[in-house]
Structure formats: structure tokens, C-alpha cells
Chains A and B, each alone.
Chain A
Amino acid sequence: MDHFARLGLPAALEIDAGALDKAYFAEQRLWHPDRFVGKAPEARAKASIEAAALNDAYRTLKDPLSRAVYLAALKGVELPGDGKTIDDPELLMEAMEAREELHEAGSIAQVDALAAKVRDELQRALAGLARLFLANDKPAIRKALLRLRYLDKFAEEARARRSNLGTNLGKS
């Protein structure tokens, strides 16, 4: 059973966050191991597996990027594993330039500005995905998701850089 079906939601890029929570809570009420205290071991084991699958589904669908990657996989678009070198020269260029900018950013304000820019890019790229999914343009979906994944990683790097600058300033 796929994650969408498990939570009784339509397999779509956009989902209602409230509906996701509601479905997740309702299913956990049925399957959480706390509901099976004192029951037969087989029933408890089954509940544990169901509850774990629900948590996996919830976690995957809650985050827009992981949801998009998952939906793409359902449609047969496979992405290379994390940590592989980027195979798109354009993206490689963008990544190298951005990283250089981040490296040179010496103040929290500068890092924040970069992070805000990346967040905007992320939002825009996410918004653009809907059209690609509608057209079922698999190569374009793959390309866009790889870029999104890079942007997400970059946002994380920016956060790390920011906290580093913060502690250094705090110490001096």
C-alpha cells in the first residue's frame, strides 16, 4: 500500500496539511502500540508494524519536497541516491557559485540574505513542479527535483553557517 492510500488521501502534489494530520491521528488511534497493551503478542506485533508504516507515511508526506520525490517515484521517476555528484552541468555551476557566495558571507545578515534567496527559489521551484507533474514530463520532473534537493541541502548549509557565525560571535 502506498503512503497516500495508507492515509486515505489522493496521490497528489498538493495535500491539505489539516487533512493529513487528521487522517494520521485517526489511524494512529487504531494502531498505536498503546492501544494494544495486554493484547495477544501477534496483535501487538501487527499493530507495531502498522504504526511504524503510518509514521513513515506521515513523515514522507508532511514535507513538500519528500512528498514530491515520493510521488515522482510512484510515477517511475527515480532519483540517484543522496551524496552522488551532481550530473547536471547547469546545476553544478549554480551550486558552485552559490557555495562560494556562502563561503564569502562573513556576517549573519549576509547569510540570512542568502538563505532567504534560497527559500524563495525553493518555493518557486516547488510551485513550478505542479505544472510538470500535470504534463507528466518525467525528464523535467527529475531535473527539477534534483535542483530542489540541492536547494534544500544548501538551505541546511546556510543554517549551519549561520549557527557557526552566531557561536563565534557569542564567544568573542
Chain B
Amino acid sequence: MSLLEIHEPGETPLPHAGEGSLAVGIDLGTTNSVVAIAREGKPAALHDETGKALVPSVVAYPASGGVLVGDEARALMAQQPRNVIASVKRLMGRGAADLHTVAGVLPYEVEPGTGQTDMVKLRIGGKARSPVEISAEILKALKTRAEAALEKPVERAVITVPAYFDDAARTATRDAARVAGLEVLRLVNEPTAAALAYGLDKGSEGLYAVYDLGGGTFDFSLLRLEKGVFQVLATGGDTALGGDDFDRAIAERMLDERKTDGLGDTVDEGAVKNALALARHMKEQLSDREQTSGRLELGGVPSFHALARPEFDALIAAHVKRTIDIARRVLDDAEMKVDEVHGVVLVGGSTRVPLVRAAVADMIGTAPLTDIDPDEVVALGAALQAEALTSSSGGGSDTLLLDVTPLSLGLETMGGIVEKIVPRNTPIPVQLAQDFTTYQDGQNAMAIHVVQGEREMVDDCRSLARFELTGIPPMTAGAARIRVTFAVDADGLLTVSAEEKTTGTAQRVEVKPSYGLSHDDMADMLYDSLDHAEEDMMRRLLTEARVEAKRNLLALAAALAKDGNLLSAEERTALDDARARVEQAAAGEDRDAINAAAQALETLSKPFAERRMDRGIREALAGVAVSDLESRVGE
């Protein structure tokens, strides 16, 4: 045996073998998952013995014991439906309160969470299991596959998440990895990972878009690529929009056709499932054919259905248009024009649909990039990032991912208005602070309510956490200076702290939402905000005007109580009238009227304010004289 092993350049079996285990990239998808590894900038998906890279994200707890993942688990679905779970990603970080949005979609018995988190549990195989432990089974299977393919231990990974995943879902994903024995080097957003795979492969520069349409979710991100830097400029999406909607459209059409033909309108759960399965097959066929047909048998009654491409296109046109509308809004957010986009990367199986490709090409004005398998591209990008994070010197893999926050983070202020502290699309990590003050004399506590969303009013946003800053020493209204700081780390996780600056009273709270924000909520919140933007802004401006007017009235009332004798009876009457007019205007809905009345009151009360100031100065001077006198007496 030789004492010295010599390898051909490029054939070194293990880079950084001294560092022990390898780092892989994992796309933990809703429908399928993929694990990949990159070596010297070349990523590759890891296949099983049969050459398949995709692992169905399905977990089974068979009656006979043990755990199955992937194709084997899926094979059990028909026989032991209560022991098999698919699409668990939809439940990551979700609480019982979120379940109405998925009720009816998932055929599982769901139990509300207990103990430390409010995350739901599923009764599978006769036992309550959390989405975290079920996801961990998928990750374990991927780890095992990687170790078998690489013949080395794999202990570290970059895992991708939808750009829209909130705090709770990101935390749940990290926890699942920990349960599976994987250290998460970084959570990377899926579109960013896809861009990484393309950018590094092609050495591209400039502005690129990533259009990611999966089974149930849509993401659109805009990135700038420059010398190894991947800068996300803006991101947006809808997590209740995807290829499943296309299947549903075809299935509904077939069931309608049966009804029209008098073949009965039994639409029980089994019928829908059969119709959906056939619809999916027909959709896939239409990716490279002009027409297709299928035979549907329900309750022993068969029916035949033909579907041509133009008919299919018409069925899904509204869904496709919605993705294009969202894409335009993201471009708007980034203040970019379509003709500045150099290329668009397609990700997700649903981008194989010809109408989708045509619509994207039409919007961007160039043919989309499709030469990397859309099912693998995210995992490949994650693998590249895993290599970049673990290579000791950086060296050739000098990549840098600069990501952003997907939704705005803010605080509730007077009148239920949201004060945004971290606007959406802010680069992370980030730490931003804002000063607030007290509203009433002697106020000794302040409630801090952290919310997430784009709407102007608290009730329309998602509540993330509440805490109270106590022990503020008594001060006059407006004298305290309370600094609230929001910190978002590189994985997108938020910490909020508050401090009263004049006295140093401090409180820090780690925002761990007690239950997760559902993707659908997130998308709804974003699009609600766009649909209601004007109405929201008007409401906000009106509320602001009211709060400001009332603040001034309070201050004036306090001043009058103290120094009212500085005014003549006439002056007092005029001022009281003006106060009444402000009160009256503030009760109404006209912002301009409130502002005008407030302005009039301010002008009218100016002489009073000046006299008060004079008196204040005189008193101060008088005070000096008295103490002076006293000290002389004391001599």
C-alpha cells in the first residue's frame, strides 16, 4: 500500500476531507424533495439506485411498525390512508387557529398543540405527531440517501424555504433538521437558490427574475447578479396558487360534462380524487401534445373526455394572469421596468405548462431559461451555497447572497395604526429602531404589540407578539423616549426589544409567534393591502389627524387648568369655541376639516402659549431671587 495517495487534478474524492462530514443542499418541497451536493462549483442531485432524484414528500407509519418515506410511503396510501401523510409542509409552524384554511384539504385528524408551542399535531398511525417530526423523517431519508451515495457522513445542510415562509415556519424547519441530525448552515429562500444555480452555471450578470410555480404555491423574485453577488431586490407571491388549481379546473370540467350527459352528479370525495388524478395526467400530456383524452369511471359509470390545448388554456387563463399581475407588482416594488430584466428563470413543475411559459415570455419579452430541470434547480442552488459556506477560504466560490424580508414588520400605535419599522423588501440582517413617547401624564407602562403585514390598521395585520414595557418613571406626556428595536437575522428570524432612554428601563423579548402565520394568510394580507391601499391610507390619515388633534386638546386643557387666569373672559370664550370645533371635527370623517380646525385652534392659542412662556420665565427668575435672598438670610 502506498503511503502517499496521489489523485489526478479534479479527481480529489473529498474536498476538505479534514473537516469531516459533508454539507449538502436540500429542497424540502411540499410534493417532492431533492438532495444535492456541489463539488468545486459543480452541483449534482443525488439519485437512488433506480436513478430517481425526486423523493415524494410522503411519510408512512405502517401498521407493521417502522417508518417509510417517499415512493414506498406513497404506495401504502391506498391501503392504509390513516397511516400515511403527504404535503406536511403546509402545516409547518401552523396553529389550530390556522386550520380553517386547510380544513377539508388534508384528510387527517388534527389535534391542537399542547405544551410549549401551539403548533398542531396530526393523528397518524394511531399516534399524535407534529409536522416537525414528520418533516424530520423526510430529512432523515434524504440524509441517508446522501450518505449512501457519497459514502461519507453528512451532518450539515443548507435547506431551502419559500421566500414567503414566516418566522414560525422557518423555526419549525430548523427544528426538523435538528431532529434529523442535521446542522442547518443557512435557510435559503427557494427563488434565491434557483438563481444561484443559474447564475453560477452561466456566469450571468444583470437583473434576473425567478418565476416559481409549484403544486400549491407561487413565488416571484427579482435579483441582481454581479460578480458573485446575488442581491434580492424584491419578492412576492401567493401561496394558494399553483398547478393543483389547474388540475381542479380540468376535473371540474369533466364532472360538469358528466352531469350534462346525464351520467349523474355524484361528487363524493372518492370521485373528486379520481377526477383529479386523471386531470393531472391529462395536464401533463398537454405539455407536449396539442390534445388529449381520458376515461373517467365513477360508480361503475364510465365517461370519455377530450381536451385540446386551447380549451385547457382557457380553463387556466385566470390563474396564469394572476401570476403575471403579481410579477408586475414585484417589478413595481423594485422600481424596475420589464425591459431591464435580462432573463427569467423557471422553477417548479407547473412551469412545464405551455401557457405559463408563453405568458412569462410575453411579459418579460425574452424566452425563459429552462435548461436546468425545474424540479432540481432549487436543490442544486442550495448545494452550491452549502459548498460556499463550508469552503475554508472562499476561493473560487466567492458567492454572496443578500436577501430581503418578505413582509413588513411593525408596531401598533395610537388609534390602532400600524407604524412600520421594517418595510418589506428590506435587506437582511437588519436592525432598525424607532422612538415612541407616552400619551398621558404619569403613564408608567407601554404596551408593545408586534405585527406583520402590509395593511395600515392593526386589525388587518397578523399579530406576532405582545409585551409590556413597565417601570417608566412618571413624566409629563411626551417626555419619555421609548426606543423599540427590531432585529431580523440572516435566516429571517425576528427579535424585538424596548428601552426607555432617559432612565434606561429596558425589556427584551424574542418574538416567537405562538402559532404560525399561514402562507395563505400572508399572501392574502399582501394582496388585501394592495387592493385596499387607498382606502387604508385615507383611514390612516384620518386617524392620524384625530390622534394629533386630541393630543393638542389634551395639552391645551392641561395648560388652561394651570394658567387659565392668563386669559380674558372673551379670549377664553373664543378659545373654548375653537376647542369645541376641533372636538366636533374630530368626531367626523373629514380629515381636512380636522386639520383646518386644529390649525385655527393653534393660531388662536398662540398668544396664550406666549404668555405662559413669559410667566414661566418670570417664575424661574423669581425663584432665583428667592433662593438668593434665602442664602443671604442664612449668612
Contact = CB atoms under 8 A, between A and B. Distances in A.
Contact of A32 (B490, B545, B598): B490
Interface string A71-88: 000000000000111000
B489 A48 contact: yes
Contact of A55 (B229, B429, B530): B429
B441 interface: no
B389 to A, nearest CB: 5
B599 A85 contact: yes
Contacts of A83: 544, 548
Contacts of B231: 25
Interface residues of B, number: 38
A155 B109 CA distance: 50
Contacts, number: 84
Contact of A164 (B426, B431, B490, B535): B535
A29 B545 CA distance: 45
A37 B535 CA distance: 46
Contacts of A29: 229, 398, 400
B534 A55 contact: no
Contacts of A25: 226-227, 229, 231, 400
B226 A59 contact: no
A56 B400 contact: no
A49 interface: yes
A113 B406 CA distance: 31
Contacts of A55: 426-430
A167 B532 CA distance: 10
A160 B534 contact: yes
A115 interface: no
A59 B595 contact: no
A164 B592 contact: no
Nearest to A31: B429
A52 interface: yes
Contact of B401 (A34, A48, A59): A34
B292 to A, nearest CB: 32
A161 interface: yes
Given A92-B595, A160-B533, A59 B489 contact: no
A53 B429 CA distance: 9
A106 B535 CA distance: 15
A159 to B, nearest CB: 8
B426 A59 contact: yes
B53 interface: no
A137 to B, nearest CB: 26
B541 to A, nearest CB: 9
B271 interface: no
Nearest to A53: B431
Contact of B531 (A96, A159, A167): A167
B483 interface: no
B534 A28 contact: no
Contact of B490 (A33, A56, A96, A161): A33
A92 B537 CA distance: 18
A123 interface: no
A110 interface: no
A51 B427 CA distance: 10
Nearest to A62: B427
A92 B429 contact: no
B221 to A, nearest CB: 18
A37 B185 contact: yes
Contact of A58 (B427, B545, B595): B427
A107 interface: no
B533 A164 contact: yes
Given A28-B400, A157-B537, A164-B535, A59 B427 contact: yes
Interface string A135-164: 000000000000000000000110111011
Nearest to B392: A38
Interface in A45-73: 48-49, 51-53, 55-56, 58-59
A49 B534 contact: no
A37 B544 contact: no
B90 interface: no
B308 interface: no
A31 to B, nearest CB: 10
B426 to A, nearest CB: 7
Contacts of B427: 55, 58-59
B551 to A, nearest CB: 10
Nearest to A167: B531
Most buried by A among B429, B431, B592: B429
Contacts of B432: 56
B400 A161 contact: no
B514 interface: no
B490 A51 contact: yes
Contacts of A32: 400, 402, 490
A52 B431 contact: yes
B448 interface: no
A25 B231 CA distance: 9
B186 interface: yes
Nearest to A34: B389
Contacts of B394: 35
B487 interface: yes
B443 interface: no
A84 B551 CA distance: 11
A123 to B, nearest CB: 14
Contacts of A163: 530-531, 533-534
A157 B537 CA distance: 7
A167 B528 CA distance: 11
B291 interface: no
Q: Rank and list the top 5 A-B pairs by shortest CB-CB distance, nearest first.
A: A160-B533, A160-B534, A52-B431, A33-B490, A55-B427
Interface of A: 21, 25, 28-29, 32-35, 37-38, 48-49, 51-53, 55-56, 58-59, 83-85, 89, 92, 96, 99, 156-157, 159-161, 163-164, 167
Given A53-B431, A83-B548, A160-B536, 18 more contacts: A25-B227, A28-B229, A32-B402, A33-B429, A34-B186, A34-B388, A34-B400, A51-B429, A55-B426, A55-B427, A58-B427, A85-B548, A85-B595, A96-B592, A159-B533, A160-B533, A160-B537, A163-B530
